[in-house]
Amino acid sequence: MDAVVSRDFEDWPDWPLQTARRVSYASATTQNSESSLLSARKFASPPSPPTSPAVSDHTRSLGLLPDEVIRLKLSRSVTISFIRKSRLFRIQYGFIDIIKEANGTLKALEMGGQQHTFVHTFANSRLPVPHLENPLLADDTPLRVSFLDEQTVQTSNTTFNTQLSYTFDHWDDCVRFQEILLASKLIFMAGIAEAKSKGRGEECISQNMRLLRGRHERVVLLFFANSQRKERKRYVSVPLNCIDKIDVPKKASRPISLHLLPNFELLAEMKVLQLQFLDDDERKKFGELMTQLLD
């Protein structure tokens, strides 16, 4: 197995998971649908419509003439929330234009469907990790995606940095949005009550844990470490090839244990990672999936 020497998900060698050839996001989200979480939850509304190429006049006027622009048509509107001059704004948009550079690198997201467009740019910066604020437990869980750091946005010809969030009404839209920013397939996500490691103690409480499949079929486990330790709160990633084995207890109240290989410093400190799930069905699904992936 190849050793992974990075510590943070953003610093993983495949981050961001770019491709040297032109690939439309439409094909990336519709192929191999069994490996994604699209339509994994039950909603009364129909599945998300397919994406389609589109270039808006506003995009051209900004000079964002990309090699490729794909329009993500949302099942319902997305609500953008941000703060400007101490005021909270909430604006609904009907679609998202995904703007990519010639090499496939994500450059910006442009919201449309209103009189004024809203542009979320990523130029010359590392893609942010989308933070799903509420642990998934029921179909009525708010699908609010935010970011740990301020984001650069442009609206009404004004560019500024702000705390930004996206609130979706449909699960498929939320999944597609995460996959765009993570440049990976979201193959599993569940709410965890707690994550502990043998070497460091509490890692996180009441968060979501995600499994992502990226370039070269690499799989990584990702969760937000919000423990009360003095170190900064951050995302922690555990590549699949750094997991030696998994223990799945039969008793529902017992956590699943991942025995880690000391491929880099953080994993050497953690030794064994224990995950306590909020829902026992999700615990079983995760155990079955991880057992298959590790075989």
pLDDT tens, residue by residue, 90-144: 999 999 998 888 777 888 999 988 877 899 998 766 778 899 887 776 666 678 9
Under 8 Å between Cβ of 159 and 150: no
Domain that holds residue 235: 187-294
Alpha carbon separation from 267 to 14, 19, 261, 264 (Å, rounded): 18, 28, 7, 6
Q: Counting Cβ atoms within 10 Å, is residue 118 exposed (0-12), middle (13-18) or buried (19+)?
A: buried
Kindly indicate the confidence band of residue 33, based on its pLDDT and cuts at 50, 70 and 90: very low
* Cα gap 194→223, rounded to integer Å: 11
* Cα gap 55→38, rounded to integer Å: 25
CA 180, 135, 197, 232 dihedral sign is: positive
Q: Is residue 149 over pLDDT 50?
A: yes
Domain containing residue 47: CATH number: 2.30.29
Q: Is residue 272 over pLDDT 80?
A: yes
Give the total residue count for the chain.
295
pLDDT tens, residue by residue, 19-31: 332 334 333 333 4
* Cα gap 216→240, rounded to integer Å: 13
Same domain, 134 and 197: no
Helices (H) and strands (E) in the chain, counts: 5, 17
Burial 68-84 (b: 16+ CB within 10 A, else e): bbbbbebbebbebbbee
Q: Give pLDDT, residue 182.
A: 86
Higher pLDDT, 34 or 103: 103
Same domain, 211 and 118: no
Same domain, 62 and 160: yes
Higher pLDDT, 104 or 209: 209
Q: Give pLDDT, residue 244.
A: 94
* Cα gap 128→181, rounded to integer Å: 7
Asked if residue 282 belongs to a domain, the reply is yes
As given in the structure block, the two tokens for residue 22 are 């032109």
Same domain, 173 and 193: no
**Mean pLDDT of the residues in the chain:** 78
Alpha carbon separation from 118 to 67, 79, 144, 154 (Å, rounded): 20, 11, 18, 6
Alpha carbon separation from 28 to 22, 23, 25, 35, 111 (Å, rounded): 11, 7, 5, 11, 20
pTM of the model: 0.75
Alpha carbon separation from 179 to 16, 17, 257, 294 (Å, rounded): 12, 11, 27, 23
Residue found by looking up tokens 């799945």 in the block: 248
Asked if residue 129 belongs to a domain, the reply is yes
Q: Give pLDDT, residue 46.
A: 35
Asked if residue 56 belongs to a domain, the reply is yes
Higher pLDDT, 221 or 57: 221
Same domain, 30 and 158: yes
Average pLDDT of span 255-267: 91
Same domain, 161 and 204: no
pLDDT tens, residue by residue, 42-93: 333 334 344 555 555 555 555 545 468 888 889 888 999 999 988 999 999 9
Asked if residue 15 belongs to a domain, the reply is no
- Domain total for the chain? 2
pLDDT tens, residue by residue, 150-164: 999 998 788 999 999
Asked if residue 255 belongs to a domain, the reply is yes
Pick the range with the lowest mean pLDDT from 62-76, 193-207, 258-272.
Answer: 62-76
Kindly indicate the confidence band of residue 239, based on its pLDDT and cuts at 50, 70 and 90: very high
